[in-house]
Structure 1
Amino acid sequence: MAGHRIPHFQNTAGHAAIEIGAKEFMCVGAHPPYDHPHVFLDMGHDAEKVCPYCSTLFKYNAELDDVTTIPAGCSYDELAA
């Protein structure tokens, strides 16, 4: 595990679901002081994982790099516009 970087994601905007490009990551909740304990999540063979603290649904999107996020239901093109 020390051989690669673990991305950290937060959901300050309160989206119900977020697409991410990593299957192993940390959820930190929202920006401090509204964060929660930083929890390591691993999707394994699944394509989705729910954070047990903030209930954010993280959806794996293989087209994204490991630091880009997209609120579910939006396209990357919509965010770039």
Structure 2
Amino acid sequence: MAHGTTPHFHNTEGLSQIEIGSKEFQCVGALPPFDHPHIYLDMGKDDDIVCPYCSTLYTYNPALGAGQANPASALFVSDAA
């Protein structure tokens, strides 16, 4: 799966919740080198999901665009892109 089509989010700040505008995404944990395996998460019909690695609660916010987050700093952008 190409990184450009699936948004990636991180929780380096240790927030209890991150709002995102995508129901399908990858969680990377914290920023590298402290990241966990980059795992694909799919909320399906639900509006939230907890990452099984880092316990970050991701909540879907339809007011945000696909690939956007609140806070915006939670969006992971790879240097390799």
Output the TM-score relative to the length of structure 2.
0.80
Percent same amino acid at aligned positions? 60
Shift of 1:13: 0.4
The runs of 5 or more residues in structure 2 that have no matched partner are 72-81
* Cα distance in 2 for residues equivalent to 1:53 and 1:33: 15
Aligned length: 70
The runs of 5 or more residues in structure 1 that have no matched partner are 72-81
Equivalent in the alignment of 2:70: 70
* Cα distance in 2 for residues equivalent to 1:69 and 1:62: 11
Equivalent in the alignment of 2:46: 46
Letter in 2 for 1:43: M
Aligned-pair Cα RMSD in Å:
1.7
Output the TM-score relative to the length of structure 1.
0.80
Which structure is larger by alpha-carbon Rg, 1 or 2?
Answer: 1
What's the CA shift string for 1:46-70, capped at 9, x where partnerless? 0000000000000000010122211
